[in-house]
Homo-oligomer: A and B are copies of this chain.
Amino acid sequence: MTETNPRIISRVEMSPADAKWITLKKIKYVDQEGVERLWECAERRTRKSTGVDAVAIFAIIRSKTNAFPPSTVVIEQYRPPIGKVIVELPAGLIDEGESAESTAIRELLEETGYVADKVIEVSPVVVCDPGMTNANMQLVVLNVTLDDQLEFPTPKLEVGEHIITKVIPMSKLKAELEEYARKDFVVDARLSHFASGFALAQELKM
């Protein structure tokens, strides 16, 4: 199949009545001084009874023989809101009845082909951009153990999903993301903050 570069045709204001996935809300609230105030916010319509929209996955990919350094996998995906290919952590919306852990294991397999052998950590529910939206998520850290050399399994993508994976040694994560940004990619803020924190601990030797 011949692939073309995706492109935006039009970008027009829409009413929430015409929107299936997200909506706008006007919030009336009382502030710390007892004054009634207004705030505007965007919300997903897809949140299930779990109360959490999505998970992102930080996979620690290790070799039993130390054939390669501890690495992680990021994905490249075209995102229409930005109109560019975004470099981000594997991620996905949580389905009804699904836990954060099982969503993370499923999405890692679907988007990257890697099979997690251990859930290392599930973060508390955190909020993505709390001045503008109510979007929330949990970060799930998964362990992927490979027998020897790095392997590149085939993702189990759905029809219409276009995702490219890239495995990066953790000690080079920040530098590689900066390299992406110098080309025509844009990096997700949560991934870049993770990488900045990792690099700062290395620099401070803490």
Given contacts A13-B24, A124-B182, A126-B192, 14 further A-B contacts (CB under 8 A): A5-B32, A8-B28, A9-B29, A11-B28, A13-B23, A13-B25, A14-B16, A15-B15, A41-B80, A70-B206, A79-B127, A79-B131, A141-B196, A195-B197
Given contacts A125-B186, A190-B190, contact A170 B6 (CB under 8 A): no
Of B4, B6, B24, the residue contacting A19 (CB under 8 A) is B24
A193 to chain B minimum Cβ distance, whole angstroms, is 4
Contact between A124 and B6, CB atoms less than 8 A apart: no
Interfacial residues, chain A to chain B (CB-CB below 8 A): 1, 3-16, 18-37, 39-44, 58, 60, 70, 78-83, 86, 88, 123-137, 139, 141, 160, 162, 170-171, 177-178, 181-182, 186-202, 204, 206
Is A202 touching B193 in the complex (CB atoms < 8 A)? no
Q: Write out the residue numbers on chain B whose beta carbons fall within 8 Å of the beta carbon of A42.
A: 22, 24, 42, 132-133
The residues of B that contact A39 with a CB separation of less than 8 Å are 80-81
